[in-house]
Amino acid sequence: MTNNPQWNTDLSHMPEPHLLQTEEWASIKTQYGWRNIQKSWRDVNGKTVAMANILLKNIKIGPLRFKYNLMYIPRGPILDWNDVELRQRVLKDIILIAKENKSFLIKIDPEVIIGKGIPETNKAAPNTNGINFLNELKQQGWHYSQDQIQFKNTVWLDLSLTEDELLANMKQKTRYNIRLSGKKGVTISEGKPSDFTMLANMYAQTAIRDKFTIRSEKYYLKVWSHFYNQGKFTPLIAFYEDEPIAALMLFHFAGRAWYIHGMSRSIHRNKMASYLLQWEAIKVAKSKDCNRYDLWGAPFDLIESDPMRGVYRFKQGFAGETIRTIGAWDFPIKPLLHHLYIKVMPIILNIMRKIGNRKTRKKVTSNSDFS
């Protein structure tokens, strides 16, 4: 594990600090085969102006183990991306660090906004600085990644508004379902570490039902426990007649909150617990002095046929703002290895997902009392 208590303090004073650049996130990743390098950049006055938790991992494809590493900076680097001179300095240094650490590929996915709202609607607003940066990346040899690890687009909710204002801005159906859930007897409580195994089981059931891939129970227990112990995580559980039926995992750091993991059982879905959970998460985030709530994920292309469209409509009901970012970009240090990686790795990942899905399905089946 990494152990730099000052890191989060410095990060919290940066523009747009992100959960995936915290000390805690790096600590978790180092337990799963990654090595972490913490890099800060300072101005002439010694003030920190950029930061990056740089993850390095040796990649193995079948019997082949690469001599070189994959470098990944999740939701980073963190800096003022409108500062052209600074961003050029940081990207240049990152390439040098990659070469020094025998990396064949650099992947970054900083939260650089290229626009807000849905394209070709009257609420769409392009971000010129983000678009200019995107063009710079292309000119400097970066490639839009075929492996988009994080969501490129998301929905942000402004928590500087009062609760009454937030409710008034929501779609009528969303407000109605929040109130209906309470009337139907759903209650929300904060969870504890003793609930985590039960919540992992519920998440596994959700993954099988809704056809998405998740990691092992051990992974989630580590993440949730670590962030909980550091005061950056609040699990919220919905109950009906004293029985848990849904949950939401709320992460919070430096004035921002993130809804990353959501789960529900197949029973009592007509109780609209997911709406009441989100409303409670909004209130909890406000109580922790968060000014933004990230609903974590929107369709990549914002089109009707996208598999996430239903989830996106649910999130839109809370009247958040759609945020479009540049997504993940790759810089190939070793072009031939990069070419091999992007050709072979999707096949390997697909096999791993199938194996993971079988394990998840087996786990759900073994917990047959958990419907």
- Write down all domains in the chain, each with its CATH number in brackets: 5-113+120-150+326-360 (3.40.630.30), 156-323 (3.40.630.30)
Distance CA 163, CA 286 (A): 9
Sequential pLDDT tens for the chain (371 residues): 457 889 999 999 999 999 999 999 999 999 999 999 999 999 999 999 999 999 999 987 666 677 899 999 999 999 999 999 999 999 999 999 999 999 999 999 999 999 999 888 888 999 999 999 999 999 999 999 998 999 999 999 999 999 999 999 999 999 999 999 999 999 999 999 999 999 999 999 999 998 888 999 999 999 999 999 999 999 999 999 999 999 999 999 999 999 999 999 999 999 999 999 999 999 999 999 999 999 999 988 777 777 788 899 999 999 999 999 999 999 999 998 888 888 776 665 566 567 666 776 666 655 644 44
Distance CA 190, CA 6 (A): 29
Sheet containing 113-116: give its strands across.
Answer: 125-126, 113-116, 321-325, 153-158, 292-294, 256-264, 243-253, 233-240, 186-190
- Is 170:303 a contact under the CB 8 Å cutoff? no
Q: What is the pLDDT of residue 301?
A: 79
Distance CA 316, CA 322 (A): 8
Q: What is the pLDDT of residue 332?
A: 97
Q: What is the pLDDT of residue 356?
A: 66
Closest residue by Cα to residue 123 from 317, 319, 325: 319
Q: What is the pLDDT of residue 353?
A: 64
Distance CA 202, CA 189 (A): 16
* Sign for the pseudo-dihedral over CA of 96, 98, 103, 108: negative
Burial class (CB in 10 A: 0-12, 13-18, 19+), 50: buried
Q: How many helices (H) and strands (E) does the chain have?
A: 11, 16
Q: For tokens 């985030």, name the residue.
A: 285
